[in-house]
Structure 1
């Protein structure tokens, strides 16, 4: 039986999934109408190619966050609440990619140009920025101390006494 926290998380996940599916349906229908009825832009291939990351992220979020239920004596019983879709990290980045793809679709409809897909270059640029920051953090922590910083902290008298007694065996 699921606790209140799991039920709340499952409820939030269902709401978040419903929102992204509605956004996806509306934006993709508008894009398809713009492409095939209005003929703007004239080439439809970039729409399908550059929409793949958004669709992949939507699918991944669906698989991660959808709660699972089982039937027990005529009632739906929550078995797993799914991953928390409010968590930071990779889930958050998947939502960002989805929203960026949807925004690119809307801008494609408004401007009638495939040049708006250059906006999706923000994703790898941001990933490189985060990786460089991570690399600099690890590189900075393993760096050797400079000449003007002392190599060791000065030891207290208590530490010096303990080290001096450290070689002698203890008797009880």
Structure 2
């Protein structure tokens, strides 16, 4: 039972990376298959350039996940290094979002054509919107839509009743 957490993390990372690798191969294979068989007449140098530009972030993220998250095993099968947690919050979560959004863009570009690459513009637009709302929230002191400052913490019903009666009283015996 030694290193149970490391073994669990290693198994979870291996499963997640194998699923991601399979999904990546499937979607990019679908793109190339449809472009070679169905949309042969519309597959131009421009289409190839768009594919390379918009697929590169997802493929680079995939390589980064493989490098950081793939567990390293000893010769006897024990876990040498479990890898980084691929379900971590923050940057890792954002990278998964970019990966999944890229899957959608590759799929729609394969099925509908090159104009579907415009869907990729949602990612930076969302980032700009998120940065703007964070900036205005900090600058405005975290006010609600009506401009009323938000309370730091809501009081419970019991605490509100006690404050209405004059606060908490200490009884001496």
Q: Which TM-score bucket, shorter chain as reference? A: 0.7 to 0.9
Match of 2:136 in 1: 136
Question: CA offset at residue 86 of structure 1?
Answer: 1.1
CA 1:140–1:69 in structure 2 vs 1: closer, same or farther (change >3 Å)? Answer: farther
Question: Shift of the alpha carbon at 1:40?
Answer: 6.2
- Report deviation, 1:19: 0.5
In structure 2, the residue matched to 1:120 is: 120
Question: Which ranges of 4 or more aligned residues in structure 1 deviate by more than 4 Å?
Answer: none
Alignment size in residue pairs: 140
Structure 1 unmatched runs, 5+ = 142-172
- Aligned partner of 1:85 in structure 2 is 86
TM-score normalized by the length of structure 2: 0.72
Partners in 1 of 2:5 and 2:61 — Cα distance? 26
Matches within 5 A, 1:22-171: 22-38=22-38, 39=40, 41-43=42-44, 44-71=48-75, 75-111=76-112, 113-140=113-140
Cα RMSD, aligned residues only: 2.4
The TM-score normalised by the length of structure 1 is 0.72
Per-residue deviation, 1:70: 2.4
How many Å apart are 1:18 and its aligned residue? Answer: 0.4
- Give, in angstroms, the shift of residue 85 of structure 1: 0.8
C-alpha spacing 1:40/1:125, structure 2 compared with 1 (3 Å): farther
Residue 23 of structure 1, CA deviation:
0.2
Asked if the contact 1:13–1:84 (Cα under 8 Å) also holds between the matched residues in 2, the reply is yes
Question: What SS class does the counterpart of residue 76 from structure 1 fall into?
Answer: coil
